[in-house]
Structure 1
Amino acid sequence: MHERGASSAQHGLALALGSAAAFGTNIVSAQLAGHAGLSGPLIVFYRVFLMLALVIGATLIWRASLVVPRRRWSALALFGLSTALTACAYLSSVAFLPITVAAVVFYTFPILIVLAEPFLSPARFSLDRVVIALVAFLGVAMVVGPDWHGLDPRGLALALAASVLAAVQFFSAARCADTGTIPKLFWSHLVILPVTLAILALTGLFQLPSALLLAPVAVAVTIGGYLIGFLLQVMALARVAPGPAALAFCAEPVFAVAIAAVFLGERVGALQYAGGALVVAAIIANVILEQKRARRLPAVAV
C-alpha cells in the first residue's frame, strides 16, 4: 500500500511536469499569434472546438461512457468554467503586458493553492510546502525577469484574475478526480465552448477559421501544446493533490523561456539560469515531500 501511494504520487507529478512542458509552448506561440491579430479568446475557442471533436471521435472509437456521477456535476461544471476563464484571461493579458510580467503575476497561483489547500481539502497545513512554493515563485520571477515599468492595469488585472481562476481550476479538478478522463474532457469542454464564444461575442473579437492562417505555425503550436497539456493535466490532477501538482507547474515558464531561447533566439542570462535552478530544486523538494506524504497516508489509515 505504501508503494502504491508513492507510485501514484510519482506518476501524477510526472504527468504534471509533462503538462507544464506542453503548456510552456502556449504563451510564446500565443504572443506570436497575437502579433498577427489573433486574440487569446479566439485561439481558446478554436482549440476547445478541436478538443471536443477529438474527444467525440475517441468516444465513438472506444465506445467509452460519458456518464458522470450526479454528485460530481457541480465540480465538473466549475472545472470547465474556471478553465475557460483562466485561459482567456492569461492569453489576453499578454496583449497588454510583456510575457515576463504576465507570467510572474499568473504564477502566484501555486502559492494561492498551497495556502488555501488546508481549508479546501483534507490536506494539513505544511510549512515545508509554503517554503517550497515561495522558492519556486522566486525562481519563476528570476527566470522571466519582469520589467515593471509602464504597465497596463488591464493586463495586470487579467493576469491576476487568471491566477485566482487557476487555483479554482485545480481544486475543482480534485473534487471530480474519480471521474473518467474522457467524460471529464468532454463535459468540461462542453462548458468551455459556449463561455469562450460568449466572450468573443461580447468583445467583438470573433473571426472565421480562415483567420487562423494569419499565423498558421503559431496557431498549430498553441493548439497542439494545449491538447497535450490539458490531457496530461487532467490525468495528473486525478492522481496527485492540488498543492504538489501546482508546484510542478512552476516549471512551465522555465520551459517557455527555454523554447523562446532555442527557437526565437532570445538571450538567457546568468540570473535566469539561477532562477531555473531554483525552480528545479523546488520541484525536486516537492517530489520528495509528496513521496513522504504518500507513504505516511496508508499507515495512518490502518
Structure 2
Amino acid sequence: MLLAFGSAAAYGTNIVTTQIASQAGLSGSLVVFYRVFLMLALVGAGALLWRFSLAVPRTERRAVALFGLASALVGLAYLSSVAYLPVSVAAVVFYTYPVLIVLAEPLLTPAPFRPDRLAVALVAFIGVALVVGPDLHGLDPRGLVLALLASVAAAAQFFTAAASPGTLLPAKLFWSHLIILPVAAMVLSLTGGFLPPQALALAPLAVVVTIGGYLVGFLTQLMALARVAPGPAGLAFCAEPVFAVSIAAIVLGERLGSLQYAGGALVVAALMINVILEQKRRAPVPA
C-alpha cells in the first residue's frame, strides 16, 4: 500500500509539472513521448549492463501485451478527451476506475465481492469529484466516451499487471513501453507537436520532475501490484488528484475552496478506512 501511495504521489506531482512545461511551450503529448522513450532506453540499457532477463513466460505473454495496450490507451484516450471536455470533467470521469476495479474484481479474480470496499470506493470517488470541482458546462458525448474509455483502460492496467506474476519487473517495463512508444508517437504526429530533444530545455526543471515522476510512478505502481490485489491498490490511487491539487496550491499558488478541502478529507478518510480493512483481513486469526 505504501508503494501504491508513493506511485499516486509521483503521478500527482507529474500532473502539476506537466502544466508548468506546457506553459513554456511543451505540449503534454511531447513530454509523454520523451518520457516513454527514456523509460524504454533506461530499461534496455539496464538489461544490457546488469543482464536482466527480458523474457516473458509463454503463459503470461498475453497479459503483458494487454497491459501494454491498456497503458497506451489510458494516455491516448485521456489526452484526447480534454479536447472535447473541461479538464475537471475528464478527470472526474477518469477517476471512476477505482470503482470499476472494485466491481470487476470478483468477476476477474478469486476475490469475493466486498460491499465495504465498494462503499469506500464510492466515498473516495465523491471526494475526488469535490477536489477536482467539475465544470458541467460544454459536455460533449465524444469527450465523455473517451474519458470513460481511459477509465476502463486504467482498470484493465491493474488486472493485467497482476495477471503476470512470473514476469520480472524489467521485462514488464520494457515490453509495455515498447507497445506504448508507437502509440505516443502516433498521438504526437497527429497533434503536430514534435520538437527535438533540445526543446526540453525550455523548462528543464519541470521536464526533469515530470519525467522523473512518471518513471517513479510507473515503477512503484508495478511493484505495488506485485504485492497488493487490484481492489485495494486501485483505491490508493484516488489520492493522486489530492496530491496534484495540494502541490498545485503550494507550487503554483492556486487557491483551494472549502469544497476541495472537504473532498480531500473524504478521500483521506476513505483511504485510511481502506488500509484498516486490509490490515484486518490480513491479520492472523487467533487459535
TM-score (norm 1): 0.87
Q: 2:168 aligns with which of 170, 180, 188?
A: 180
Deviation of 1:264 after TM superposition, in Å, equals 0.5
1:162 equivalenced with 2:150 (yes/no): yes
1:231 equivalenced with 2:219 (yes/no): yes
Distance 1:251 1:268, change over 3 A: same
Match of 2:249? 261
Q: Quick check: 1:41–1:196 contact (8 Å CA) kept in 2?
A: yes
Distance 1:65 1:248, change over 3 A: same
Q: CA offsets per residue over residues 208-232 of structure 1, 9 Å max, x none?
A: 3234344433332221110010000
Where 2:167 maps in the other structure, the secondary structure is coil
1:89 equivalenced with 2:77 (yes/no): yes
Q: 2:259 aligns with which of 239, 250, 271?
A: 271
Where 1:282 maps in the other structure, the secondary structure is helix
Distance 1:112 1:121, change over 3 A: same
Q: Which amino acid aligns with 1:21?
A: A
Q: Following the alignment from structure 1 to structure 2, what is the Cα–Cα distance between the partners of residues 154 and 29?
A: 27
Q: Following the alignment from structure 2 to structure 1, what is the Cα–Cα distance between the partners of residues 196 and 65?
A: 27
- The CA RMSD measured in Å over matched residues stands at 2.0
Match of 1:121? 109
Q: 1:109 aligns with which of 87, 91, 97?
A: 97
Q: CA offsets per residue over residues 40-70 of structure 1, 9 Å max, x none?
A: 3332221011011111232233222112111
1:17 equivalenced with 2:5 (yes/no): yes
Q: Which amino acid aligns with 2:61?
A: W
Q: CA offsets per residue over residues 256-291 of structure 1, 9 Å max, x none?
A: 000110000011122211111111111111112222
Q: Quick check: 1:41–1:88 contact (8 Å CA) kept in 2?
A: no
Q: Quick check: 1:27–1:99 contact (8 Å CA) kept in 2?
A: no
Deviation of 1:92 after TM superposition, in Å, equals 4.1
Match of 2:138? 150
Deviation of 1:96 after TM superposition, in Å, equals 4.5
Q: Quick check: 1:133–1:282 contact (8 Å CA) kept in 2?
A: yes
Unaligned runs of 5+ in 2: none
Matched length: 285
Distance 1:91 1:212, change over 3 A: farther
Q: Quick check: 2:57–2:166 contact (8 Å CA) kept in 1?
A: no
Q: Quick check: 1:80–1:187 contact (8 Å CA) kept in 2?
A: yes
1:130 equivalenced with 2:118 (yes/no): yes
Q: Which amino acid aligns with 1:79?
A: F
Unaligned runs of 5+ in 1: 1-12
1:33 equivalenced with 2:21 (yes/no): yes
Where 1:276 maps in the other structure, the secondary structure is helix
Q: Following the alignment from structure 2 to structure 1, what is the Cα–Cα distance between the partners of residues 92 and 9?
A: 17
Match of 2:238? 250
Where 1:113 maps in the other structure, the secondary structure is helix
Q: Quick check: 1:20–1:248 contact (8 Å CA) kept in 2?
A: yes
Match of 2:275? 287
Q: Percent identity?
A: 70
